[in-house]
Structure 1
Amino acid sequence: MARITSVAAFGPAAPVYDWQSAHCASGRPLAPCHPSPCQQLPYRRDVPDAPAMAWRDPVSNLTFMAPGDSRGTWPSVGPNLDSVKHDCSLMIFNYSGPSGFLQPAADFSNHEWLYAPYVVPPTSESGNSTLFMLVHNEFHGWEHSPVLCNATSMVDGRCWYNSVSLSVSHDGGRTIRHAAPPPRHLVAASSEVYAPNHGPYGVFSPSQIVKHPRDGHLYSFPRCRSKDGATDGVCLMRTTEAALPDPSSWRFWQGGGAEAFTGTFVDPYIQRGLTEPAVLRFGNESSSPSQPVPRYLPKLDLFLLAGYCDMPGAPARAHFGVSYAPEPWGPWSRMQPITAVSVDPTKDEPFIRGLYPSLLDPNSASYNYDTIEGDEAYLYWVQGRNKEVVHAPDMARDLWRQRVKFTFGAGKSAEESSMHAGSQPHPARASLAGWLRSFGR
């Protein structure tokens, strides 16, 4: 099997989105949450708060890029990935309902982030393409009442309950709505209902979707964390393009090979789930990536995951890494750092770490940019800004990119030779503090 021996950035880093000059909405200072509910009136804020994702509309031939926020998503649009410009006339998504995130946990429709696009071309010359989108949804108990949380803000992730839902656009991505009325848009959730004052649990950060060239399935790599913490790591789920309109069609992996996608997500407010997803193992290391982004490399017939990860022995401030495997279920190599990345290009203390790494290839033949065609691509990442420096009332973040080059080798490393696809993987854990840090929290 071919392998990736190194990934290194080269050339200058360049801004893709500069908050100070391009933001469409500035947000406002957060308000206390008790004794009255905080932020009763939803407000808008334009910051990249997820891994950079892109899709190409086959009707208009425009490329959209949208690493948006739960308080509004404005895309950058252009004829190709290298020439997108932020468009304030086109807010494509905002968290739902007149009460916004104050809806109950059982609706699975609270703080919502677009995470994973998948384009289906039109079936007729006069039709529009359909864009499906996996959505990361956060319920924050502290925003509701002391009965639901004994804190008035996020404290070590307490009172955070997460799920994944499905949204859809029938105009190529210009307007995005729930695929069904909540909670019937639910894709994946914890096997248990929300419980006050527990640490974060549920299904988080559905990765961008990668299509398998041989079996035709669509794969996503969310983070799964059970209420008791016994399950904690990157899990795997899949569906088919034909079944994609049905939010309940995703099946999670239970450890093994291609036959092991037998797990069914349920709405725990209707029935409690009986099993938890298995989590992937990344070599013999204990580190696993947060918010992983998958890509397929046709040249090598390899799958790749990029993500934020604290890697033992990595250079100082190197928190972006990659892993690779012959199949989505593995065996996955250990995470290895992407070197020479120009993080903190604005020298804006205290935000010296980049967040949400993503690899995108402008030459990808896929409508969803889920392939890397050669040995080069761009690494995109989110860079925090000091709100005092840029005069932001709330959060300010930029989006940067830098070219990276892959070096490939042949054969298996000793570590990979000791791993077997089809065996039950051991959990690859990250500390809670490190995982929260990957969200910038």
Structure 2
Amino acid sequence: MRKRLFPILLVVAVAGSVHPGHASDGPAVSLTVAGDQQVLYEWNRQRCDDEQIPDSPARAFRRADGEIVLIATHRTNWALIGSDFASLRPSCETLLRGTDYPAGTGKLWIQATYTYDGKNVAALVSQDLAIESRQAGCDPAGRIGKCWLNKILAARSSDMGRSFDLFAPKDRVVVSLSDRYPEGADRRYGAFTTTNIVRKDDAFYTIVYMQGSDQAASGNCLFRTSDPMDAGGWRALSLTGFDVDVKSDEDARRCVKLPHLGFEARSLAYSAKHGVWIAVLAGRFQLAGDDRPVAGFYASTSPDLKAWSKVARIMRAPIKPREERPDQYWYYPSLIDPDSTSANFDTIDGDTAVLLFTVGHLRNGRGTMNRDLQYVPVRLEASVP
């Protein structure tokens, strides 16, 4: 038996199955941190270059040679590699970058990975087309948020994740609301983030957050495929099943918006012991006993990835610069069991896990490239209804 790397505390309640998209009435999830905050990657000391920052939720998989690859990446797409979590160290190799493709490809962030064999790795990639939208004439004044167009693309690796390539242009788009930023829009628009890819029975799932033209087209939607290596196989859950190939704003309206996940769902993990899926997110929620919404990291559970419980707070966290703390802000939470027997770290096999997140350091109230990847240990316990 491998030695547990971290001590921990997290409380999970099991909810019954309900109609897709409806909220669970089961007990709320309570998460209590049981250890000190630790640094996994320190930008000031360990970076290969200034662009090597943790700017996306952490994802992990095991290579065919037994090494662990942990990706929490920026637009240059880099990774931490080690024989176990305790030995993870940054690699100076670039996995994927938009500048290696023709003009107009945009900036690329690897958001999810999945491998069957540790050699061939599928990836979902967030594509930022804000610069391209401005070059096409959108908002010359450059107001923040306006002109930001985003899609989810497919990529793959055949060398154990050392490098990734986008699929051919005709095959690479997985989720898109439009090829152009809408005229008259005043905020970001498109498909922005995905959770990691997880396996349930004989299918594979991810949650994609979309921001469309209105509330009906915006929110977290559950996607399924029979093979993550097939870029064209992903379909969103609607009221009639997994039958929506989201390529337009109207398609986005048809997908079921998952309940209680009011902000971007950042990661998924299955607790085998408790029989529930756990989603984590950053946001502000007003829970029982709060006199106002509280910024922090939160969790929700589901028996089937469709019906989600009300969130419970894992920990308070300064999630927006200059509002909760003058020197730091924390974001991109993800829940991973370092001792998971899954090659894709999508399961929590015992009572332990770690909550990883990015810590951004401010200087005189302004953002910097100084960002670290940190974690706190947590422990799973079933609450009593």
Give the TM-score category using the shorter length.
0.7 to 0.9
Partners of 1:146 and 1:77 in 2: CA distance: 39
Of 355, 362, 366, which residue of structure 2 is paired with 1:379?
355
Match of 1:41 in 2: none
Match of 1:93 in 2: 96
RMSD over aligned Cα atoms: 2.9
Of 316, 330, 336, which residue of structure 2 is paired with 1:360?
336
Partners of 2:46 and 2:280 in 1: CA distance: 27
Q: CA deviation at 1:143?
A: 6.6
Match of 2:255 in 1: 277
Query: Does residue 395 of structure 1 match 2:369?
Result: yes
Of 37, 48, 54, which residue of structure 2 is paired with 1:24?
48
Q: CA deviation at 1:380?
A: 0.4
- The residue identity in structure 2 corresponding to 1:6 is S
Query: Does residue 370 of structure 1 match 2:370?
Result: no
Match of 1:116 in 2: 112
Of 179, 182, 199, which residue of structure 1 is paired with 2:169?
182
- Per-residue CA deviations over 1:239-278 (Å, capped at 9, x if unaligned) read 013xx332121010113xxx61111223x5xx98595322
Partners of 1:13 and 1:204 in 2: CA distance: 29
- The residue identity in structure 2 corresponding to 1:15 is V
Contact 1:224–1:234, Cα closer than 8 Å, also in 2: yes
Of 374, 377, 381, which residue of structure 2 is paired with 1:407?
381
- The residue identity in structure 2 corresponding to 1:87 is S
Partners of 1:83 and 1:93 in 2: CA distance: 23
Match of 2:270 in 1: 296
Say if 1:226 and 1:245 are closer, same or farther in 2 by CA, change over 3 A: same
Partners of 1:389 and 1:235 in 2: CA distance: 35
- Per-residue CA deviations over 1:166-200 (Å, capped at 9, x if unaligned) read 1100011011111x222421101115642245221
Of 194, 206, 210, which residue of structure 1 is paired with 2:181?
194
Partners of 1:210 and 1:364 in 2: CA distance: 13
Partners of 1:232 and 1:277 in 2: CA distance: 9
SS at structure 1 position matched to 2:254: coil
Contact 2:29–2:300, Cα closer than 8 Å, also in 1: no
In structure 2, list runs of 5 or more residues that go unmatched.
1-13, 16-26
Match of 1:248 in 2: 232
Q: CA deviation at 1:63?
A: 0.1
- Per-residue CA deviations over 1:154-176 (Å, capped at 9, x if unaligned) read 52x21111110111000110111
Spell out the pairing of 1:137-148 with structure 2 (5 A cutoff).
Answer: 137-141=127-131, 144-145=134-135, 147-148=137-138
Contact 1:159–1:197, Cα closer than 8 Å, also in 2: no
Select the structure with the greater relative contact order (CA < 8 A; seq sep ≥ 6): 2
In structure 1, list runs of 5 or more residues that go unmatched.
27-44, 104-108, 122-127, 412-441
Query: Does residue 136 of structure 1 match 2:126?
Result: yes
Match of 1:40 in 2: none
- Per-residue CA deviations over 1:68-94 (Å, capped at 9, x if unaligned) read 111x12211100122211122x22222
- Per-residue CA deviations over 1:112-135 (Å, capped at 9, x if unaligned) read 1001110121xxxxxx72100111
Say if 1:343 and 1:120 are closer, same or farther in 2 by CA, change over 3 A: same
SS at structure 2 position matched to 1:82: helix
Contact 1:357–1:380, Cα closer than 8 Å, also in 2: yes
Contact 2:336–2:355, Cα closer than 8 Å, also in 1: yes
Aligned residues with identical type, % of pairs: 24
Match of 1:60 in 2: 65
Contact 2:286–2:294, Cα closer than 8 Å, also in 1: no
SS at structure 2 position matched to 1:224: strand
SS at structure 1 position matched to 2:34: strand
Query: Does residue 305 of structure 1 match 2:279?
Result: yes
Say if 1:183 and 1:48 are closer, same or farther in 2 by CA, change over 3 A: farther
Say if 1:396 and 1:196 are closer, same or farther in 2 by CA, change over 3 A: farther
SS at structure 1 position matched to 2:30: strand
Say if 1:96 and 1:158 are closer, same or farther in 2 by CA, change over 3 A: same
Partners of 2:236 and 2:309 in 1: CA distance: 21
Q: CA deviation at 1:50?
A: 0.6
Spell out the pairing of 1:213-224 with structure 2 (5 A cutoff).
Answer: 214=201, 216-224=202-210
Contact 2:95–2:161, Cα closer than 8 Å, also in 1: yes
Contact 1:296–1:372, Cα closer than 8 Å, also in 2: yes
Say if 1:366 and 1:410 are closer, same or farther in 2 by CA, change over 3 A: same
SS at structure 1 position matched to 2:159: coil
Contact 1:158–1:197, Cα closer than 8 Å, also in 2: no
- The residue identity in structure 2 corresponding to 1:253 is L
Higher strand share: 2
- The TM-score with structure 2 as length reference comes to 0.83
Partners of 1:351 and 1:166 in 2: CA distance: 36
Match of 1:149 in 2: 139
Contact 2:218–2:253, Cα closer than 8 Å, also in 1: no
